[in-house]
Amino acid sequence: MYQRQAGILASSDPRSGRSNVLPVNMAESADTNVLCLPNPEWLPHVLVINGPAADLEAFQRAAAGPGVIPWQRDYSQLEEDWLHRLLAPSPTRRGLTVHAARIAARELRDELEALEMRVANRPEPNVCPFDLNALVPVPFKLLALEPNDPAVLVWLWTHWGTTWMLRDVEILESASGNDVVAAAAGQEILRLRFFAADWTPWRALETIRANWPTLSFTL
């Protein structure tokens, strides 16, 4: 999980009846309704996709991905940034010594680099059956930025409707709850369950619906 920036501003979102939380340096961005909490509430969703069998199979191939955004990391720069943050004192703690800060920054870098290398080298890379980045990919020019960069957060909110990747995405084998969709002759149904951060990824779904007009998407 990536930690979001600490400085925040609150603003209201009339659609949800709750407060948004914005990084301070995004307050002057074009989209002032970016909903980005440092510790989001993970909301459960069930998405039912219905359509011709061949089209649904093609969609499943297109939607499968690793379930992570492939950030283009500069690990040396990250280590240097962490070093400066660890050296800086705060109102609640003293800064570390240079020696201790260097050790901690190196350990953070090694842990992140190893984790992302394991993800990249997984024997089954397309383990997520509904990968938003596979269907509505983050532009390559943004992948070189930090996950909490204002430009990244604005893009994710504008194009996905959530600023985090989906979690615990899985295919459901049978209907449950209020799912009353039935497959017509020559058609099939795919049921997906996932958790989204603070909000439904409705903007991504708008794009997906437009790109797959023969399929029906029901949340």
> Do residues 105 and 61 share a domain?
no
- Whether residue 64 has pLDDT greater than 50: yes
The verdict on 139 and 113 lying in the same domain is: no
Q: Residues 139, 208: one domain?
A: yes
For the chain, percent of residues with pLDDT exceeding 70: 72
For the chain, what is the total number of helices (H) and then of strands (E)?
7, 6
At which of 82, 106, 124 does a domain end? 124
Strands annotated E in the chain = 8-13, 18-23, 42-52, 167-172, 187-197, 216-218
Digit-coded pLDDT (tens) for 83-92: 888 887 776 6
Q: What are phi and psi of 137, to 5 degrees?
A: -70, 145
Considering the domain boundaries, does residue 10 fall inside one?
no
- Structural domain boundaries, residue 193: 39-67+127-219
**137 and 118 fall within a common domain:** no
Q: Is residue 53 part of a domain?
A: yes
C-alpha span between 85 and 42 (Å, rounded): 29
Look up residue 171 and give its two tokens.
């295919």
Both 57 and 98 in one domain: the answer is no
Neighbours of 70 (CB within 10 A): 15
Q: What is the pLDDT of residues 19-50, one digit of tens each?
A: 333 333 333 344 457 877 778 899 999 999 99
Domain for residue 181, yes or no?
Answer: yes
Query: Is the dihedral angle over the CA atoms 130, 132, 136, 142 positive or is it negative?
Result: negative
The pLDDT of residue 7 is above 60: no
Do 144 and 206 share a domain, yes or no? yes
Q: Give the integer Cα–Cα distance in Å for 8 and 38.
A: 9
Q: Is residue 114 part of a domain?
A: yes
The answer to whether residue 156 sits within a structural domain is yes
Reply yes or no on whether the pLDDT at 60 is more than 50.
Answer: yes
Domain tally, the chain? 2
Q: Are the C-beta atoms of residues 109 and 85 closer than 8 Å to each other?
A: no
Domain boundary at 124, 145, 168, which?
124
Domain annotation covers residue 21: no
> Residue 131: how many CA atoms within 13 Å on its side-chain side?
20
Q: 183 Cβ partners below 8 Å, 6+ apart?
A: 50, 189
Q: Are the beta carbons of 211 and 136 closer than 8 angstroms?
A: no
* pTM (2 d.p.): 0.64
Q: How far apart are CA 188 and CA 169, in angstroms?
A: 20
Q: 146 and 210, same structural domain? A: yes
Q: Are residues 100 and 151 in the same domain?
A: no
Q: Is the per-residue pLDDT at 71 higher than 90?
A: no
- CB contact at 8 A, 46 and 172: yes
In a domain, 4, yes or no: no
In a domain, 206, yes or no: yes
**Residue 134 and residue 68: Cα distance in Å, rounded?**
10
> Which of the four pLDDT bands, split at 50, 70 and 90, describes residue 172?
very high
Residues 120 and 131 in one domain: no
pLDDT computed for residue 176 by the predictor? 61
Whether residue 136 sits in one domain with residue 188: yes
State residue 157's pLDDT score: 94
Pair (213, 145) in one structural domain: yes
pLDDT surpasses 90 at 159: yes
Cβ contact 198:67 at 8 Å = no
* 152 and 202 fall within a common domain: yes
- Name the band, by pLDDT with cuts 50, 70 and 90, for residue 185: low
